[in-house]
Amino acid sequence: MDIHEHQAKDVLKKIGMPVPRGGIAFAPEQAMHEARKLGFPVVVKAQVHAGGRGAAGGVKLCKTEAEVSAFALSLLGRNLVTKQTDANGKPVHRLLIEEATDIAQEIYLGLVLDRKSERIMIVASREGGMEIEELAEDQPDALVRMVIDPAMGLLPFQSRELAFKLGFTGKQVGQFATVLRACYRAFRDLDATMVEINPLVVTGTGDLIALDAKMSFDTNALFRRPEVAALRDPGQEDPREDAAAEHGLNYVGLDGDIGCIINGAGLAMATMDMITLSGGQPANFLDIGGGASPERVVAAFRTVLSDPNVSVVLVNIFAGINRCDWVASGVVQAYQELNLSLPVVVRLAGTNVEEGRRIIDESGLPLISAETLAEAAATAVKVRPAMAA
């Protein structure tokens, strides 16, 4: 789960992170009020769950109330399209109004969960202000990495060592240690999966301040972090993902037109790869999980078909805990209840596969059976143009 910049700054400020003074606005009048309290110039930032806001026109330095009002009017209520969003963008419902900062230097600082080492990894660079992906590709030598031992936690010498590598001296070493400690505490204590300060700036007076902040959290841990769950903004999320979650489904929308209903994340990834290899594009990732009852299969069909771009549905089930006959019954039920007219390709394997295939074959419906994953993917791609025509 992601949260907004202003929320991340509030979280980090409570545990020692220096951040600019600012306020939130949901209307142009409120934006002007916050700007007057801070004093001009101010920076107005669109609050969306996506990076690249500045390049997309979502951030502006404003020197007068008129500029604040005009910029707020241009942002609020519309979608902001950045390089990290799809073509529809993310809706802007709130703005962060902050005091302008005198920037002398920009630093990148991030804490992420490194699954390879099973440790929290610190990634930092003296080249702040850039997206980490661009930095890693264009200037890999500019990145400094450090791993935190979970048994020991963040040790003081690590903060000092990293500060020296980033070129800090004097009082800045202590300030950086405070910043890094706040990031680590937030990561550890709130079940975060990412804490990013980009940029962490050195001001004209030599002080450090977090000019931007991002945080992501482990969704599976929200049950024990109610204070984090309360920060969720459903308006920034795909409504299809929320609807799928209510039925225990894992769904992620993609840009293709072949809808996928699969059990198991690994099999889902393999299926999407096979679709691409066959010349098609998957419309989604959907994992129905281990206990796919007919009702859950119907819910999966409803979720997949909520995407208007879907022109064919591919059902790929390898049943272990699942049962092929349950899945087959769900496919037949969904086809009848939803009055489907688009092609549905079904590949079943595993527990009760013979009974599942019998249900599909004797349903009297135009369902297309496939023996293997490769055959299923190729068939889905093959029947798609006929549907489009």
Q: What is the pLDDT of residues 76-107, one digit of tens each?
A: 999 999 988 888 889 999 999 999 999 999 99
| pLDDT score at 388 | 45
Using CA atoms, how far apart are residues 59 and 41, in angstroms rounded to an integer?
13
Mention every residue, 6+ apart, whose C-beta is less than 8 A from residue 10.
none
Give the SS3 label for residue 274. Answer: helix
Using CA atoms, how far apart are residues 108 and 124, in angstroms rounded to an integer?
5
Using CA atoms, how far apart are residues 44 and 98, in angstroms rounded to an integer?
7
Summarised one tens digit per residue, pLDDT across range 318-342 is 887 778 888 899 899 989 998 888 9
Q: Do the beta carbons of residue 345 and residue 368 sit within 8 Å?
A: yes
| pLDDT score at 291 | 64
Give the SS3 label for residue 78. Answer: coil
| Domains by residue range for the chain, with CATH | 1-19+102-236 (3.30.470.20), 21-100 (3.30.1490.20), 239-388 (3.40.50.261)
Q: Do the beta carbons of residue 345 and residue 313 sit within 8 Å?
A: yes
Using CA atoms, how far apart are residues 387 and 345, in angstroms rounded to an integer?
13
Using CA atoms, how far apart are residues 265 and 262, in angstroms rounded to an integer?
8
Q: Judge whether 219 is annotated as a binding position.
A: no
Q: Residue 33 — φ and ψ, nearest 5°?
A: -65, -45
Q: For residue 230, what are its two tokens?
A: 């309360």
Q: Judge whether 291 is annotated as a binding position.
A: no
Closest Cα partner for 127 from 104, 106, 111? 106
Summarised one tens digit per residue, pLDDT across range 255-273 is 899 999 998 889 999 999 9
Q: Do the beta carbons of residue 132 and residue 109 sit within 8 Å?
A: no
Residue 382: count of CB within 10 angstroms of its CB = 16
For the annotated catalytic residues, the residue numbers are: 108, 196
Residue 387: pLDDT band (50, 70, 90) is very low
Q: Judge whether 101 is annotated as a binding position.
A: yes
Using CA atoms, how far apart are residues 188 and 153, in angstroms rounded to an integer?
9
Residue 227: pLDDT band (50, 70, 90) is very high
* DSSP per position, 226-237: HHHHTT--GGGS
Check whether 60 has a pLDDT greater than 60: yes
Mean pLDDT of the chain: 90
Q: Judge whether 52 is annotated as a binding position.
A: yes
Give the SS3 label for residue 298. Answer: helix
| pLDDT score at 319 | 81
Q: Judge whether 204 is annotated as a binding position.
A: no
Q: For residue 81, what are its two tokens?
A: 């399209």
Using CA atoms, how far apart are residues 310 and 384, in angstroms rounded to an integer?
9
Q: For residue 75, what are its two tokens?
A: 């942002």
| pLDDT score at 389 | 39
Summarised one tens digit per residue, pLDDT across range 272-305 is 999 999 999 999 998 887 666 778 888 889 889 9
- Please tell me the pTM assigned to this model: 0.77
| pLDDT score at 313 | 94
Q: Judge whether 45 is annotated as a binding position.
A: yes
In the chain, the N- to C-terminal Cα span, in Å, equals: 40
Check whether 184 has a pLDDT greater than 70: yes
